[in-house]
Amino acid sequence: MSFPLLTATAALPAVGAVATAAVPAARRTAAKWLALLVSLGTLALAITVLVRFDPGGARYQLTESHSWISDFGVRYELGVDGIGVALIALTAVLIPFIVLAGWHDADPLETGSRRWRPTQGFFALILAVEAMVLISFEATDVFLFYIFFEAMLIPMYFLIGGFGDRAHAQGEQAASTQRSYAAVKFLLYNLVGGLIMLAAVIGLYVVAGNFSLQQIAEARANGSLHMATSTERWLFLGFFFAFAVKAPLWPLHTWLPNAMQESTAPVAVLITAVVDKVGTFAMLRFCLGLFPGASRWATPVILVLALISIVYGALLAVGQRDIKRLVAYASISHFGFIIMGIFAMTSQGQSGATLYMVNHGISTAALMLVAGFLISRRGSRLIADYGGVQKVAPVLAGTFLIGGLATLSLPGLAPFVSEFLVLVGTFTRYPVIGIIATFGIVLAALYTLVLYQRTMTGPVKPEVSAMPDLKVRELLVVGPLIVLLIFLGVYPKPVTNIVNPAVRHTMSDVQKKDPKPEVEAAK
C-alpha cells in the first residue's frame, strides 16, 4: 500500500494543533515554535505533493479511497487535480508566514482586569484551520468535503471573536463587543449557507445514490445517471449559495469587512487568502463538475453578480477610512474577478481565475501583513492617523507600496497576469461584461494610490515620528512574499502548466469550447 500522502498533508497540522493546544500555559514560546515547525513540515509535504503530481497524467492523482459510512455510500475519498494542487501549495506557503506574523498577537494582555489570552490556543486554531482547508481541497467525496467545509467555521469563529485586533479607539470593552458581533455574523452567514448546502447534498444522494464525485461523473458520462433539469438547477443553487457566501459574492459579502476589521492581520489573511478560496475552488470542482447544465443556465445571472462585486467592492474601498476595511472591500472586488473568470466558460477565464486565487492570496497576504505591522506600531486602523511614514520607516513604506501595486495588478507583479487572462477570457464570450469590469481596475488604482499617499507621504505626523522600521522577523514574513509576487509576475508558467490540464477537464464537464477568434492568425 502506497504512502497516503494527501492524508498525511492534512493530518500533520491537525495533530500539530492538538499538540500545540496541549503545551502548558507557561511555555508560550514553545507553543509558537511548535506551530511554526508543524507548518513548515506541512509545507514540505505539500511540496512533495506538487513534485509527485503529473500535469499530463490522470485527472485526479494521489488518490485514496476507503469505506467510511457504507450504509449511506459515504467514502473517505481523496484526490487532487491541478487546481487543487495549486491551492494546497498556496495554503501551505502562507501558513508559516501567518504564524510568524502573529508571533506576539496572542500574548497575554496586561489590563486592569488582567484578562488572559491563551497563546497556545491561538496557534492551535490556525493549524486546525489549515488542516480543514487542505482536506477540503483534497476531498472527492461530496459528504466528506461538506463536513470540513462546515467544521472550519468553528476555529475561525474563535480566532475572530477571541483573538481580535487590539487597535480600537473606543477602548477594550467596545473592541470586545465589535469582535463578538463580527464573529457571530461570520458564523451565522456561513452556517445558513452550509445548511442550504446540506439539503442539496442530501438531494444529490437521493438522485445519484452516492457522494463520489468520480462515480457521479462516470454515471453521467455513460448515461446511467438521469437528473431532471429542474432537480439539477435546485441542487446547483443549494451548492452555489453556500460557496457564494464563503467566496464572498455580492450581496452575500457583508460579513467579510466586519470579520477582517476585527481580526488580527494574520487572521484576516487566513480568512481572505486561504479560507475564502475554498468557496471559489468548490465552484469549479462541484458546481461545474456535478451540475454542468445548471451551471450554463445560471451563468448570465452569476456574471452580473460578479460584475456588481467588482465595481461595488472597488467603489466602497475608495471611501474607506479604516485600512483593514479597505483591504476587505478590495478583496470583494477581486473575488468578483475570480468568479467572473470561472463562469465566463472559457479556458483563459478559468485558468486566469485559478491563477488569480493563488496570486490574490499572495498579494493580499503581503499588503495586509505589512498593514498589520503598521497598525501595531501606531495602535490605530484609521488612515487619517498616519502621514509621512516613508520618511521614518522607508522599508515598511516600500513593502507596503509593492503590496499595494500588486493589489492594483501592476504589470510585472503576479496579479496582473491572472487579471489579464480573466478579462480576455470574459471578453471573448461576453464583451460587455468584460468592458465594464475594466472599470474595477481604474478604481483599484485609485484606492491603492490614495491609501499610500495618505499614510506614507506628506509631513511626518508627531505620532509616527518615532515609528521603528521593519524588524528581522517582519522582513522574514514580507520578503519572501514580495519575491513570489515578482517571480510569478514575470514567469507564471510553473502555475499555469499545472492548472491548464485541469481547466480543460472542467471545460469538458460543462461541454464548452472557446469561441473561435474573429480574425484568423496569419499562416
Task: Tell me the per-residue pLDDT of 276-288, one tens digit each, with 9 for 90 and over.
Answer: 899 999 999 899 9
Confidence band for 314, pLDDT divided at 50, 70 and 90: very high
Pairwise pLDDT comparison (232 vs 44), residue with the higher score: 44
Task: Tell me the per-residue pLDDT of 76-100, one tens digit each, with 9 for 90 and over.
Answer: 899 999 999 999 999 999 999 999 9
d(CA 418, CA 352): 4
Q: Is the pLDDT of residue 6 over 50?
A: yes
pLDDT at 118: 78
pLDDT at 319: 86
Contacts of 483 (CB under 8 A, 6+ apart): none
- Written as one letter, the residue type at 399 is T
d(CA 183, CA 114): 23
pLDDT at 170: 54
* Domain boundaries along the sequence of the chain: 5-509
Give yes or no for a contact between 72 and 25, defined as CB atoms under 8 angstroms apart: no
d(CA 331, CA 335): 6
Q: Mean pLDDT over residues 137-158, rounded?
A: 92
CA dihedral 380, 384, 389, 395 (to 10 degrees): 60
pLDDT at 111: 46
C-alpha angle 303/329/135, rounded to 5°? 75
Look at the block and give the residue holding cell 475608495.
318
Q: Which of 399, 412, 423 is nearest to 488 (CA)?
A: 412
**Which H helix or E strand runs over 94?**
helix 82-101
Contacts of 269 (CB under 8 A, 6+ apart): 94, 98, 101, 364, 365, 368, 369
Contacts of 307 (CB under 8 A, 6+ apart): 336, 340, 433, 436, 437
d(CA 288, CA 349): 14
pLDDT, averaged across the chain: 87
Instruction: Cite the DSSP H helix spans in 22-71.
Output: 28-52
Give yes or no for a contact between 357 and 281, defined as CB atoms under 8 angstroms apart: yes
Q: How far is CA 137 from CA 54, 204, 405, in A?
A: 17, 20, 29
Task: Tell me the per-residue pLDDT of 366-405, one tens digit each, with 9 for 90 and over.
Answer: 999 999 899 888 888 888 888 888 888 899 999 999 999 9
pLDDT at 124: 93
Q: Which of 501, 512, 353, 509 is nearest to 425 (CA)?
A: 353
pLDDT at 166: 63
Give yes or no for a contact between 358 and 297, defined as CB atoms under 8 angstroms apart: no
CA dihedral 215, 217, 220, 225 (to 10 degrees): 40
Share of residues in the chain with pLDDT > 70 (%): 94
pLDDT at 171: 53
**Which H helix or E strand runs over 17?**
helix 5-21
Q: What are phi and psi of 222, to 5 degrees?
A: -90, 5
Q: Is the pLDDT of residue 355 over 70?
A: yes
Give yes or no for a contact between 98 and 111, defined as CB atoms under 8 angstroms apart: no
Task: Tell me the per-residue pLDDT of 394-439, one tens digit each, with 9 for 90 and over.
Answer: 999 999 999 999 988 889 999 999 999 999 999 988 999 999 999 8
Pairwise pLDDT comparison (460 vs 517), residue with the higher score: 460
pLDDT at 181: 85
Q: Is the pLDDT of residue 1 over 50?
A: no
Q: Which of 202, 219, 121 is nearest to 161 (CA)?
A: 121
pTM of the model: 0.90
- Written as one letter, the residue type at 1 is M
pLDDT at 114: 44
d(CA 279, CA 247): 5
Confidence band for 115, pLDDT divided at 50, 70 and 90: very low
**Largest Cα–Cα separation, the chain:** 78
Task: Tell me the per-residue pLDDT of 153-172, one tens digit each, with 9 for 90 and over.
Answer: 999 998 988 887 665 545 55
